[in-house]
Every structure is written in C-alpha cells, then in structure tokens.
Amino acid sequence: MKTINLLFSIDDNYFEQLKTTLFSLRNNTPNTFFRVFVLQKKKFDWENEFKKFCSALNMCYKPLIIGANDFKYAPVTKRYPETIYYRLLAQDYLPKDVEKILYLDADILCINDISSLYDLKLNSYLYAAASHSQLTNLTTVVNKVRLQNYDTEQYYNSGVLLINVVQARHIINHKIIYDFIREKRATLLLPDQDILNSLFGDQILSLPDQVYNFDARKNLTYEMISNGTWDLDWVINNTIFLHFCGKEKPWEKNGKGKFAALYKHYAHLSKLTAAKID
C-alpha cells in the first residue's frame, strides 16, 4: 500500500478543522496509508482522541513537539508569532526517513485524489506550490516591488506546499530565516509567505492553483478568466484542494460562499466518524 506523508501546524483552536481536512483526504484518496505529522508547541489535551480518529481512517498521528527553547533567538512579536517558522523549518523535526512531505493549512478541503500532486518529481526544487496571481496580476507586481524579488515569476501561496525534505535539510536553516526577518521586518505583510517567496521563490515548482489550491472565495473570477471552463462542474471533477482563504470560514455558523455547504457536509461526516469511535 502506498504511503503519503502529510504535515500540519496547528494550535488547540483547529482540532475540528484538522479532522475535517483529514476525513476529506481519506474519502478521496483510497488505498493509501497516511502518516500525519503535526508541528505543535506542546502536547494537546485531545491527543488520545485524535490518535483514535486517525487510526479509524488508516492514518498514523505523529506529533512533532517544538521544544520550549527552540526559537528563543527568533525575532518574535505579536505580528510575527513563533508559529510562522514551523513549516519553513519542518525538516529539522521530521524523521530522517521522510524525504518528501505535503504541508496543508487546516482550512483546506480535499475533493479529489491527491496522488497526482504527491507523485510529482521535485528533482532539485525545494517546493511545489501554487500562486493566486492569475486572480489579480496587480498583487504580483506589488509583491515584487515590496519584496524586491524581481526574478521570481510568481508570488506563491504557502497553504499547500509539497516539500523536498532532502533539499530543505541542505539549504534551509534557522540563521537564514532569522537574518532575513531582522533585515526586512518593516516590509513583511504575510511573514511566512513573504519569507518563502523572497528566499526560495526561484526554487519553487509552479502548480496550477485552479487544481491544487483553489481560492474558494474567487469561484466567479476563476470562471471568468477561463471563459466559463472552470465552472462548478469542472471544479468538482478536477480540483484537488479547495482553500478557504481569508477571514470568513465555512465552519462558522453563518459561513457563506458557493462551497460552504460542501465543507459543512464533510465536517458533519467527520463528526459522525468520531462519534462511532467513542
């Protein structure tokens, strides 16, 4: 059976959302064993419950506990919390046998098989990621000026990252990231994403966002720029990840948007699975 390594970085507030994401992954990627690595500051109160939930989905939960002093020299403020470093330095915490891993934000829903993404050959690329630049070209231009990385073609979203862990162990370290933040902190708006693009943007394999990182807020924009091709039927049949970017989230009581009902359906099924375990 095929094994896929998954990576998340959450706090106590995203327990239910993580379960929904995992259920959607399980539901749409059969005949696969998942190792679920979670970067976390400390042991969660719900750890035993989560282990049982993962086991029921043929997944194995692997907590990656960040030591209390691991980031004591990191530039940290209210705007730049310690958690911004976790996904960029995940290779320091992963077991040596992990050579590739897929990082996902916990506000993502999987609606088709992820094998096409995980099986990509990264070769010498550090990451594979998608840009949302086709949704607004102006943002790409502004980011190039702001971050002064004119050689990079895109500004990549860090919510879906296929990570070449072997390459990352050779190239990325704490000092590179700390020094960059100290030098550029005045211009950083989305810290972890800005770091990713500024330091490693030219080492990212570009993915089509309409397939691998569909911004669920922008369904009308996708349909318009594709001359009607990327409509709802196309998304349901072809898109791998719906990413619920922004402040409004589909799990909220008054969550809106074309895909909010689909998310709530998966969340409901996830809760039913958890209830059966109990």
> pLDDT means per 10 residues in the chain (278 residues)?
95 91 97 96 91 96 89 74 86 96 97 98 96 69 47 81 97 90 79 89 96 95 95 97 93 88 96 87
Taking residue 190's Cβ as centre, other Cβ atoms within 10 Å add up to 14
What pTM was estimated for this model as a whole?
0.92
Taking residue 76's Cβ as centre, other Cβ atoms within 10 Å add up to 15
Spatial neighbors of 182 by CB under 8 A, at least 6 apart, are: 75
Q: What is the rounded distance in angstroms from the CA atom of residue 90 to the CA atom of residue 101?
A: 10
Spatial neighbors of 120 by CB under 8 A, at least 6 apart, are: 128, 162, 205
Q: What is the rounded distance in angstroms from the CA atom of residue 197 to the CA atom of residue 203?
A: 9
Q: Are 181 and 191 in contact (CB under 8 A)?
A: yes
How much is the pLDDT for 146?
Answer: 46
Q: Are 104 and 233 in contact (CB under 8 A)?
A: no
- 3-class SS of residue 173: coil
- Burial class from Cβ neighbours inside 10 Å (0-12, 13-18, 19+) for residue 48 reads exposed
Strand order in the sheet with 214-215: 108-110, 241-243, 214-215
Q: What is the rounded distance in angstroms from the CA atom of residue 115 to the CA atom of residue 132?
A: 22
How much is the pLDDT for 73?
Answer: 76
How much is the pLDDT for 246?
Answer: 85
Three-state secondary structure readout of 194-224: HHHHHHHHHHEEEECHHHHCEEHHHHHHHHH
- Ramachandran quadrant class, 228 (left: phi over 0; alpha: psi -120 to 50; beta: rest): left
How much is the pLDDT for 143?
Answer: 47
Superfamily for 2-208? Answer: Spore Coat Polysaccharide Biosynthesis Protein SpsA; Chain A (3.90.550.10)
CA proximity to 109, closest of 22, 231, 31: 22
How much is the pLDDT for 75?
Answer: 77
The tokens describing 144, both together, are 């190039």
